[in-house]
């Protein structure tokens, strides 16, 4: 894949889901956003603090169950409550579709079709393409994350479902209008995909008739960033050091406490 900067990719940020909030607002290309975020982290005078995400919370629970000394602290064992017991638990690593790590199930049906997922994957990769630091967004399952998100039975996700499914249809209609009837967005060259994305990358700059496409693009960009930078590979891309057990914890040095007025 070409690594030429794509101007649209970081225009017009809404609030990003999760800890990548500032990433999609500070650069002018999909490649530049990752480099800029790394620079921001490196230049910060204080450590970057991120909330524990759902994956990690479930892993912590799984570890507590799997370690006998921790599991024994509860009122009963897993076997007593219908579980499988630590020694038989083979699901603690999860699966590619990110289910509950212990029961291996998702409480709602996915709504996006394979055709929609293929188009979504192409768009996610325009937002965060592969480079020498990390794979493309779709290689880490960003489009499946978005599918899980819009499939959830909650009001906010329901609104996103309408916007995103409609936006996927719009992409193909726009591809056909520009490049020939029946042309699909996902089948376009990188340059032609970029041409469409450039027109919907920034809502305030969107031409008349492109406003809905711009709102769709902004939402997908936010969800793609949230999906990508909460994976192990995404955290490595940020060079984020966290979610790792420590043998000991050293308190902040005196100069940091003094800077914060806590000395």
State the greatest distance between any 2 C-alpha atoms of the chain, in Å, as a whole number.
Answer: 68
Query: Model confidence at 245, in pLDDT bands (50, 70, 90)?
Result: confident
Confidence of residue 215 (pLDDT cuts 50, 70, 90): very high
For helices 142-151 and 155-179, the axis angle rounded to 10 degrees is 130
Q: Locate the domains of the chain by residue range.
A: 7-51+108-238
What six digits make up the tokens of 139? 């290689």
pLDDT in tens, 112-153: 999 999 999 999 999 999 999 999 999 999 999 999 999 999
For residues 59 and 78, the model is more confident at 59
Is the pLDDT assigned to residue 193 strictly greater than 60? yes
Confirm if 220 and 123 have CB atoms less than 8 A apart.
yes
């Amino acid at each position: 894949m070409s690594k030429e900067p794509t101007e649209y990719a970081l225009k017009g940020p809404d609030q990003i889901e999760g800890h990548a909030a500032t990433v999609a607002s500070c650069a002018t290309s999909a490649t530049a956003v990752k480099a800029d975020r790394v620079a921001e982290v490196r230049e910060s005078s204080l450590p970057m603090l991120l909330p524990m995400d759902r994956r990690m919370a479930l892993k912590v629970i799984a570890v507590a169950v799997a370690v006998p000394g921790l599991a024994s602290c509860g009122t009963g064992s897993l076997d007593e409550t219908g579980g499988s017991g630590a020694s038989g638990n083979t699901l603690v690593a999860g699966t590619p579709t990110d289910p509950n790590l212990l029961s291996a199930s998702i409480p709602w049906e996915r709504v996006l079709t394979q055709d929609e997922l293929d188009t979504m994957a192409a768009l996610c990769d325009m937002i965060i393409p592969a480079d020498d630091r990390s794979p493309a967004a779709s290689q880490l399952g960003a489009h499946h994350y978005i599918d899980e998100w819009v499939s959830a039975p909650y009001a906010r996700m329901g609104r996103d479902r309408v916007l995103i499914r409609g936006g996927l249809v719009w992409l193909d209609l726009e591809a056909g209008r520009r490049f020939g009837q029946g042309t699909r967005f996902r089948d376009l060259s990188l340059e032609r995909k970029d041409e469409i994305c450039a027109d919907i990358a920034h809502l305030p700059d969107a031409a008349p008739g492109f406003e809905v496409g711009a709102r769709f693009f902004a939402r997908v960009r936010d969800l793609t960033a949230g999906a990508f930078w909460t994976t192990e590979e995404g955290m490595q891309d940020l060079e984020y050091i966290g979610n790792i057990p420590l043998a000991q914890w050293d308190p902040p040095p005196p100069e940091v406490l003094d800077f914060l007025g806590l000395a």
